[in-house]
Structure 1
Protein backbone atom coordinates (compact mmCIF):
# COMPACT_ATOMS: atom_id res chain seq x y z
CA UNK A 1 0.00 0.00 0.00
CA UNK A 2 1.34 3.41 -0.99
CA UNK A 3 1.95 6.12 1.59
CA UNK A 4 3.21 9.63 0.99
CA UNK A 5 6.53 10.72 2.45
CA UNK A 6 6.48 12.33 5.88
CA UNK A 7 5.67 16.07 5.91
CA UNK A 8 9.32 16.98 6.58
CA UNK A 9 10.46 14.92 3.58
CA UNK A 10 7.85 16.65 1.39
CA UNK A 11 9.04 20.06 2.63
CA UNK A 12 12.66 19.08 1.94
CA UNK A 13 11.73 18.01 -1.61
CA UNK A 14 9.92 21.29 -2.22
CA UNK A 15 12.94 23.27 -1.00
CA UNK A 16 15.21 21.42 -3.49
CA UNK A 17 12.99 21.82 -6.55
CA UNK A 18 14.09 24.40 -9.12
CA UNK A 19 12.82 22.93 -12.40
CA UNK A 20 9.53 21.06 -12.77
CA UNK A 21 7.98 19.35 -15.79
CA UNK A 22 4.23 19.90 -15.58
CA UNK A 23 2.33 17.16 -17.39
CA UNK A 24 -0.99 18.44 -18.73
CA UNK A 25 -0.22 22.13 -18.20
CA UNK A 26 -3.12 24.00 -19.75
CA UNK A 27 -2.70 27.29 -21.62
CA UNK A 28 -6.15 28.23 -20.26
CA UNK A 29 -5.62 30.66 -17.37
CA UNK A 30 -8.74 29.44 -15.57
CA UNK A 31 -7.50 25.84 -15.27
CA UNK A 32 -5.92 24.68 -11.99
CA UNK A 33 -2.76 23.46 -13.75
CA UNK A 34 -2.17 26.93 -15.17
CA UNK A 35 -2.82 28.74 -11.90
CA UNK A 36 -0.63 26.39 -9.86
CA UNK A 37 2.26 26.46 -12.37
CA UNK A 38 2.09 30.27 -12.60
CA UNK A 39 2.18 30.44 -8.80
CA UNK A 40 5.22 28.19 -8.68
CA UNK A 41 6.95 30.36 -11.31
CA UNK A 42 6.44 33.29 -8.95
CA UNK A 43 8.26 31.31 -6.26
CA UNK A 44 11.21 30.95 -8.65
CA UNK A 45 10.57 27.55 -10.18
CA UNK A 46 11.25 27.00 -13.88
CA UNK A 47 8.24 25.37 -15.48
CA UNK A 48 8.64 22.94 -18.40
CA UNK A 49 5.19 22.38 -19.96
CA UNK A 50 4.45 18.88 -21.25
CA UNK A 51 1.31 18.93 -23.38
CA UNK A 52 0.92 17.75 -26.99
CA UNK A 53 -0.40 20.24 -29.55
CA UNK A 54 0.71 23.28 -27.53
CA UNK A 55 3.86 25.18 -28.43
CA UNK A 56 4.20 27.42 -25.37
CA UNK A 57 2.65 27.93 -21.95
CA UNK A 58 3.63 30.55 -19.37
CA UNK A 59 6.43 31.79 -21.62
CA UNK A 60 8.10 28.37 -21.79
CA UNK A 61 8.37 26.04 -24.78
CA UNK A 62 6.05 23.05 -24.45
CA UNK A 63 6.92 19.43 -25.28
CA UNK A 64 4.72 16.49 -26.25
CA UNK A 65 6.32 14.08 -23.77
CA UNK A 66 9.11 13.89 -21.22
CA UNK A 67 11.28 12.14 -23.81
CA UNK A 68 10.87 15.12 -26.18
CA UNK A 69 12.49 17.52 -23.70
CA UNK A 70 16.11 18.12 -24.78
CA UNK A 71 18.57 16.10 -22.69
CA UNK A 72 20.36 19.15 -21.24
CA UNK A 73 17.05 20.57 -19.96
CA UNK A 74 15.74 17.16 -18.89
CA UNK A 75 18.81 16.71 -16.64
CA UNK A 76 17.73 19.84 -14.75
CA UNK A 77 14.25 18.51 -13.91
CA UNK A 78 13.81 17.97 -10.18
CA UNK A 79 10.14 17.04 -10.24
CA UNK A 80 7.46 15.77 -12.63
CA UNK A 81 4.08 17.24 -11.62
CA UNK A 82 1.07 15.38 -13.05
CA UNK A 83 -2.15 17.29 -13.80
CA UNK A 84 -3.78 14.52 -15.85
CA UNK A 85 -6.47 11.87 -15.49
CA UNK A 86 -5.43 8.95 -13.32
CA UNK A 87 -5.74 6.49 -16.21
CA UNK A 88 -2.89 8.32 -18.02
CA UNK A 89 -0.50 8.52 -15.06
CA UNK A 90 1.22 5.18 -15.62
CA UNK A 91 2.62 6.19 -19.00
CA UNK A 92 4.27 9.31 -17.62
CA UNK A 93 5.50 7.59 -14.46
CA UNK A 94 7.13 4.93 -16.65
CA UNK A 95 8.75 7.69 -18.74
CA UNK A 96 10.06 9.37 -15.58
CA UNK A 97 11.50 6.06 -14.38
CA UNK A 98 13.11 5.30 -17.77
CA UNK A 99 14.63 8.78 -17.95
CA UNK A 100 16.00 8.64 -14.41
CA UNK A 101 14.03 11.62 -13.14
CA UNK A 102 14.14 11.95 -9.36
CA UNK A 103 10.55 12.63 -8.25
CA UNK A 104 6.92 12.60 -9.32
CA UNK A 105 3.98 14.46 -7.82
CA UNK A 106 0.37 13.47 -8.51
CA UNK A 107 -1.88 16.47 -7.89
CA UNK A 108 -5.07 16.51 -5.81
CA UNK A 109 -7.45 13.80 -6.97
CA UNK A 110 -4.87 12.12 -9.22
CA UNK A 111 -4.47 8.64 -7.77
CA UNK A 112 -2.71 5.65 -9.33
CA UNK A 113 -1.38 3.48 -6.54
CA UNK A 114 0.23 0.93 -8.88
CA UNK A 115 2.18 3.64 -10.74
CA UNK A 116 3.17 5.31 -7.45
CA UNK A 117 4.47 2.03 -6.06
CA UNK A 118 6.37 1.34 -9.33
CA UNK A 119 8.04 4.74 -9.11
CA UNK A 120 8.87 4.27 -5.44
CA UNK A 121 10.37 0.83 -6.14
CA UNK A 122 12.52 2.45 -8.85
CA UNK A 123 13.90 4.91 -6.31
CA UNK A 124 11.85 8.00 -7.17
CA UNK A 125 10.34 10.20 -4.50
CA UNK A 126 6.57 10.05 -4.96
CA UNK A 127 3.85 12.31 -3.59
CA UNK A 128 0.24 11.50 -4.49
CA UNK A 129 -3.13 13.25 -4.14
CA UNK A 130 -1.67 16.52 -2.82
CA UNK A 131 -1.35 20.03 -4.23
CA UNK A 132 2.25 21.12 -4.80
CA UNK A 133 1.35 24.82 -4.51
CA UNK A 134 -0.67 24.40 -1.31
CA UNK A 135 2.10 22.30 0.26
CA UNK A 136 4.77 24.77 -0.82
CA UNK A 137 2.85 27.69 0.66
CA UNK A 138 2.13 25.88 3.94
CA UNK A 139 5.50 24.16 4.39
CA UNK A 140 8.18 26.23 2.68
CA UNK A 141 7.33 29.83 1.77
CA UNK A 142 7.17 32.44 4.46
Structure 2
Protein backbone atom coordinates (compact mmCIF):
# COMPACT_ATOMS: atom_id res chain seq x y z
CA UNK A 1 0.00 0.00 0.00
CA UNK A 2 1.53 3.28 -1.09
CA UNK A 3 1.04 6.18 1.28
CA UNK A 4 0.90 9.80 0.21
CA UNK A 5 3.17 12.39 1.76
CA UNK A 6 0.01 14.17 2.93
CA UNK A 7 -1.09 11.08 4.87
CA UNK A 8 2.34 10.58 6.44
CA UNK A 9 2.50 14.28 7.33
CA UNK A 10 -0.89 14.08 9.03
CA UNK A 11 0.23 11.01 11.00
CA UNK A 12 3.30 12.87 12.25
CA UNK A 13 1.56 16.19 12.95
CA UNK A 14 -1.50 14.73 14.68
CA UNK A 15 0.40 12.25 16.85
CA UNK A 16 1.87 12.97 20.26
CA UNK A 17 2.56 9.57 21.84
CA UNK A 18 4.69 6.83 20.28
CA UNK A 19 4.92 3.36 21.80
CA UNK A 20 8.16 1.80 20.57
CA UNK A 21 8.22 -2.00 20.34
CA UNK A 22 11.78 -3.28 20.55
CA UNK A 23 13.27 -0.09 22.02
CA UNK A 24 16.79 -0.89 23.18
CA UNK A 25 18.46 0.63 26.22
CA UNK A 26 21.72 0.69 24.21
CA UNK A 27 22.38 4.18 22.89
CA UNK A 28 24.17 2.90 19.76
CA UNK A 29 21.13 0.92 18.57
CA UNK A 30 18.94 2.41 15.85
CA UNK A 31 15.77 2.02 17.94
CA UNK A 32 17.32 4.11 20.71
CA UNK A 33 18.71 6.81 18.39
CA UNK A 34 15.46 7.18 16.43
CA UNK A 35 13.33 7.25 19.60
CA UNK A 36 15.63 9.81 21.27
CA UNK A 37 15.32 11.97 18.14
CA UNK A 38 11.51 11.77 18.19
CA UNK A 39 11.49 12.49 21.94
CA UNK A 40 13.64 15.59 21.30
CA UNK A 41 11.02 16.69 18.76
CA UNK A 42 8.35 16.66 21.46
CA UNK A 43 6.82 13.20 21.16
CA UNK A 44 6.19 11.16 24.29
CA UNK A 45 7.99 7.82 23.96
CA UNK A 46 6.61 4.70 25.64
CA UNK A 47 9.17 1.87 25.55
CA UNK A 48 7.87 -1.68 24.97
CA UNK A 49 10.52 -4.28 25.74
CA UNK A 50 9.64 -7.40 27.78
CA UNK A 51 13.27 -7.93 28.86
CA UNK A 52 13.45 -4.42 30.33
CA UNK A 53 9.90 -4.19 31.76
CA UNK A 54 9.69 -2.05 34.88
CA UNK A 55 12.99 -0.33 34.18
CA UNK A 56 13.46 2.94 32.29
CA UNK A 57 14.71 3.81 28.81
CA UNK A 58 14.96 7.46 27.72
CA UNK A 59 13.61 8.40 31.15
CA UNK A 60 10.35 6.50 30.56
CA UNK A 61 8.98 3.40 32.27
CA UNK A 62 9.31 0.28 30.11
CA UNK A 63 6.28 -1.95 29.54
CA UNK A 64 6.30 -5.64 28.60
CA UNK A 65 3.45 -5.28 26.06
CA UNK A 66 1.10 -2.80 24.42
CA UNK A 67 -1.78 -4.10 26.55
CA UNK A 68 -0.06 -2.85 29.72
CA UNK A 69 -0.06 0.76 28.51
CA UNK A 70 -3.07 2.58 29.93
CA UNK A 71 -2.66 5.96 28.25
CA UNK A 72 -3.69 6.64 24.64
CA UNK A 73 -1.15 5.67 21.97
CA UNK A 74 -1.03 7.46 18.63
CA UNK A 75 1.73 5.51 16.86
CA UNK A 76 3.11 2.06 17.54
CA UNK A 77 6.63 2.19 16.08
CA UNK A 78 8.13 -1.27 15.55
CA UNK A 79 11.79 -2.25 15.67
CA UNK A 80 11.41 -6.03 15.42
CA UNK A 81 12.22 -8.36 12.52
CA UNK A 82 9.58 -8.71 9.80
CA UNK A 83 8.56 -12.23 10.85
CA UNK A 84 7.30 -10.81 14.18
CA UNK A 85 4.90 -8.35 12.52
CA UNK A 86 1.84 -10.65 12.29
CA UNK A 87 1.91 -11.23 16.06
CA UNK A 88 2.44 -7.54 16.69
CA UNK A 89 -0.46 -6.73 14.33
CA UNK A 90 -2.67 -9.12 16.33
CA UNK A 91 -1.66 -7.35 19.54
CA UNK A 92 -2.12 -3.92 17.92
CA UNK A 93 -5.72 -4.57 16.84
CA UNK A 94 -6.61 -5.41 20.46
CA UNK A 95 -5.67 -1.84 21.46
CA UNK A 96 -6.98 1.61 20.63
CA UNK A 97 -3.61 2.67 19.22
CA UNK A 98 -4.13 4.60 15.99
CA UNK A 99 -1.18 3.97 13.66
CA UNK A 100 0.92 0.82 13.11
CA UNK A 101 4.40 1.86 11.88
CA UNK A 102 7.06 -0.72 10.96
CA UNK A 103 10.51 0.79 10.52
CA UNK A 104 12.68 0.82 7.41
CA UNK A 105 13.38 -2.70 6.15
CA UNK A 106 10.50 -4.19 8.16
CA UNK A 107 7.39 -5.35 6.32
CA UNK A 108 5.13 -8.38 6.22
CA UNK A 109 2.20 -9.12 3.91
CA UNK A 110 0.43 -11.29 6.50
CA UNK A 111 0.56 -8.42 9.01
CA UNK A 112 -0.91 -6.09 6.36
CA UNK A 113 -3.75 -8.58 5.80
CA UNK A 114 -4.44 -8.83 9.56
CA UNK A 115 -4.63 -5.05 9.84
CA UNK A 116 -6.76 -4.69 6.70
CA UNK A 117 -9.21 -7.41 7.76
CA UNK A 118 -9.60 -5.67 11.13
CA UNK A 119 -10.30 -2.42 9.25
CA UNK A 120 -7.21 -0.86 10.82
CA UNK A 121 -6.00 0.84 7.66
CA UNK A 122 -3.60 3.37 9.18
CA UNK A 123 -0.38 1.46 8.83
CA UNK A 124 3.08 2.15 7.50
CA UNK A 125 5.75 -0.43 6.65
CA UNK A 126 9.35 -0.18 5.51
CA UNK A 127 9.74 3.51 6.42
CA UNK A 128 11.85 5.19 9.08
CA UNK A 129 9.81 7.56 11.21
CA UNK A 130 12.86 9.79 11.77
CA UNK A 131 13.65 10.05 8.04
CA UNK A 132 10.00 10.79 7.25
CA UNK A 133 9.86 13.42 10.01
CA UNK A 134 12.99 15.12 8.69
CA UNK A 135 11.73 14.95 5.10
CA UNK A 136 8.13 16.06 5.70
CA UNK A 137 8.14 18.20 8.83
CA UNK A 138 11.59 19.78 9.01
CA UNK A 139 12.22 20.26 5.27
CA UNK A 140 8.91 21.20 3.60
Normalised by the length of structure 2, the TM-score is: 0.92
Q: Which residue of 2 aligns with 1:93?
A: 89
Q: Which residue of 1 aligns with 2:129?
A: 132
- Structure 1 unpaired stretches of 5+: none
- Structure 2 unpaired stretches of 5+: none
Corresponding pairs, count: 136
* Structure 1 CA distance for aligned equivalents of residues 103 and 42 of structure 2: 20
* Structure 2 CA distance for aligned equivalents of residues 126 and 42 of structure 1: 23
Q: Which residue of 1 aligns with 2:100?
A: 104
Alignment of 1:119 onto 2:137: no
Q: Could you list the runs of 4 or more consecutive aligned residues of structure 1 that deviate by over 4 angstroms after TM superposition?
A: none
Aligned alpha-carbon RMSD (Å): 1.2
* Structure 2 CA distance for aligned equivalents of residues 36 and 23 of structure 1: 12
Tell me, yes or no, if the aligned pair for 2:73 and 2:96 is still in contact at 8 Å.
Answer: no
Q: Which residue of 2 aligns with 1:33?
A: 31
Give the CA deviation at 1:87. 1.3
CA-to-aligned-CA distance 1:4-47 (integer Å, 9 cap, x gap): 32111011111111001000000000000000000000100000
